Amino acid sequence: MSDSSDKTDIPTVCRSCEARHNGICGALNNKELKQLSQHTTKKLVQAGTELVGETEAASTYANIMGGVVKLSKMMPDGRQQIVGLQFAPDFLGRPFQETSSITAEAATSVKLCAFPRSTLDAMMKETPGVEQRLLRQTLKELDEARQWMLTLGRKTASEKVASFLYMIAAQIDPERNLDDGGPITFDLPLTRADIADFLGMTIETVSRQFTKLRKEGIIQLDQSRHVTVPDIQRLQDETGEF
């Protein structure tokens, strides 16, 4: 039986990994997975930990296996702008780029599967599928950035907050299918101040919109951070996109 069909040849640590199916590792056959797994390190990092610094030369890449990573840029005068969020099974790192152009920080506790940059760079030369997966990830991030430009530039305050919550609900659990129905629960990965920064709003406006959504029964809030979405379709309707 070939490497690609014999599941017993897949390294144990890779069998239940979401990145194996939807991330860059999905481009690898079992032999290549074994090769990569010999260089991987599983990490659990706490919220607030800087993973990659802006202008820092990154020596490792990683697959995000769980949690949320916050991406931000700093202006010369110290002002910060959150420019994106990453979820499992996103890829953390920028191949073909010597230094990072953003700061990546664990917004929640984050599970990572890290490996040396040199290992993946070598595999990209030998396995074209890896480069294709990375290109797909880049295009996905480009599409998301364009969508977020629409959110920031044209949506109302209510639609912005609903869009933020919908994004979290849709991506926080990579194994959850929104079509399955039923309530969705999650802890907000950002503080109110960070949400305001991300949405280009004031903290007071963000809080008012959370209260509005709660009073309308679109979300339930427990201790300001734990969110339950009883009906994901009602939340999606509030985003202004149908």
pLDDT tens digits, residue range 103-145? 999 999 999 999 999 988 888 888 878 888 888 888 888 898 8
Greatest distance between any 2 Cα atoms in the chain: 61
Is it the case that residue 6 has pLDDT exceeding 70? no
Q: What percent of the chain has pLDDT over 70?
A: 93
DSSP characters over the chain:
--TTT-GGGS-GGGTT-HHHHHSGGGG--HHHHHHHHTT-EEEEE-TT-EEE-TT----EEEEEEESEEEEEEE-TTS-EEEEEEEETT-EES-TT-SS-SSEEEESS-EEEEEEEHHHHHHHHHH-HHHHHHHHHHHHHHHHHHHHHHHHHHH--HHHHHHHHHHHHHHHS-TT--GGG-S-EEEE-SS-HHHHHHHHT--HHHHHHHHHHHHHTTS-EEETTTEEEES-HHHHHHHTT--
Place of tokens 């912005």: 160
Cβ–Cβ under 8 Å, residues 58 and 168: no
pLDDT at 165: 97
Per the listing, tokens 């690898």 go with: 28
Q: Determine what percent of the chain is predicted with pLDDT higher than 90.
A: 48
Which structure tokens are listed for 37?
Answer: 């797994």
CA–CA separation, 42 vs 115, rounded Å? 9
Looking at the predicted structure, is the pLDDT value of residue 19 above 70?
A: no
Distance CA 86, CA 225 (A): 19
Q: And the tokens for 189?
A: 């990965």
pLDDT in tens, 43-52: 999 999 999 9
Sheet with 41-45: list strands edge to edge: 41-45, 110-116, 60-66, 91-92
